[in-house]
Homo-oligomer: A and B are copies of this chain.
Amino acid sequence: MLTLLFYNKVESLKVYHDITEIKNKIYNLKNGIFWLDLVSPGDEEVSLLKEVFQFHPLAIEDCLYRLQRPKLDEYDNYFFMVMHAFSHHSAKEPVEFDAFISNNFVITFHWAPLSFIDGLVDRFVKNPVVFEKGVDFLLYSITDALVDEYFPLLDDIEDRLSEIEETTFKHPDRHLPSRIFDIKRDILNLRKTLSAQREVFNLLLRHDFPFIREESRLFFMDVYDHIFRLFDTVDMFFERASGALESYLTVVSNLTNEIMKVLTVFTAVMMPLSLIAGIYGMNFKYMPELSWRLGYPFALLLMVLTALGLLYYFKKKNWI
């Protein structure tokens, strides 16, 4: 699907979806700036990039084959940016988000619908002020919205982490490790993406790109700060996930310990009692106790005393 937001001072912002109209508009472009968004485009739509804009084949290839690392490539009169976006529709899998930026347009390209893009289009239609401020501010608005989509994702991970941490100490179950490994993998994936994305914005800030004016730098700096904070948080999450696994292991080894104590106390208390019973079960002819009047209660008393003595001993050892 194609969406063209075309802006000039005379006509203000107009939206087009039809490919022939769009082509027409682009060819007759003067003094305007536009944002063209391609979602899961067909062959004809992709050919726009090749024929109308004549982008470098390598950049177009990067759009078509997914999933590239976030990066920033500079070409003669435009630059090409790859980022990863997340969509409400499929919360966990990143969607490659490509952008071509020139002095009068931003073209974005992605293979899945992204809710934040729809939100932006609505916002721009209502209030086209961003387009007045120029292409760099438009790019800032888009990337800022893209990065903001990461926050609910992190909140979700934090929720899962907190639940895991709580479970670990309260009622650890055998499936916890596999849940921790799942979350760790998610965190690692996110970290990899954010690390590359941070690099992209670092480049954008350090390097002198002709389409980014000094005054809008601060805005990109702000996006960079957001990514940095995300990265920090994700790093922290990783530490916490590792900590959760460690705690699980200590909890398990504590449990083993406790089970061992129960086993030992039981065995150590019962065995002497059985021995006493065994002794008075022997068939010797001459065993004086056997013919005592109170032999039986005496044996039972012996057992009770032995048991109490041993229990006292284990009590003192803090095992029960």
Contact = CB atoms under 8 A, between A and B. Distances in A.
Interface of A: 56, 58, 68-69, 71, 73, 75, 165, 169, 174, 177-178, 181, 184-185, 188-189, 192, 218-219, 221-222, 225, 228-229, 232, 236, 239-240, 243, 245-257, 259-264, 266-268, 270-275, 277-287, 289-296, 299-300, 303, 319
Contacts of A240: 185
The quantity of this chain's copies bound in the complex is: 5
Contacts of A218: 56, 58, 73, 75
A290 to B, nearest CB: 5
Given A218-B56, A264-B266, A284 B277 contact: no
A249 B250 contact: yes
Contacts of A284: 280, 289-290, 292, 295-296, 299
A93 B272 CA distance: 55
Main secondary structure of the interface of A (DSSP, over half): helix
Contacts of A285: 290-291, 295
B250 A253 contact: no
A254 B174 contact: yes
B263 A268 contact: yes
Nearest to A270: B271
A118 B273 CA distance: 73
30 contacts: A56-B218, A68-B225, A69-B228, A73-B221, A75-B218, A165-B181, A177-B247, A184-B243, A188-B239, A248-B250, A249-B253, A252-B253, A252-B254, A252-B257, A253-B256, A255-B257, A256-B256, A256-B260, A260-B260, A260-B264, A263-B267, A267-B271, A271-B271, A274-B275, A280-B282, A282-B299, A283-B287, A284-B290, A285-B295, A286-B296
Given A277-B279, A290-B284, A259 B262 contact: no
A281 B299 CA distance: 12
A222 B69 CA distance: 11
Contacts of A293: 286
A254 B279 CA distance: 36
Contact of A252 (B221, B250, B277, B279): B250
A296 B249 CA distance: 48
Contacts of A71: 225
B283 A290 contact: yes
A79 B243 CA distance: 39
Given A188-B239, A253-B256, A284-B295, 14 more contacts: A69-B228, A71-B225, A73-B221, A177-B251, A249-B249, A256-B256, A256-B260, A260-B264, A263-B264, A275-B277, A278-B278, A281-B281, A281-B282, A283-B283
Nearest to A74: B218
A222 to B, nearest CB: 5
Contacts of A165: 181
A185 B158 CA distance: 14
Contacts of A248: 250
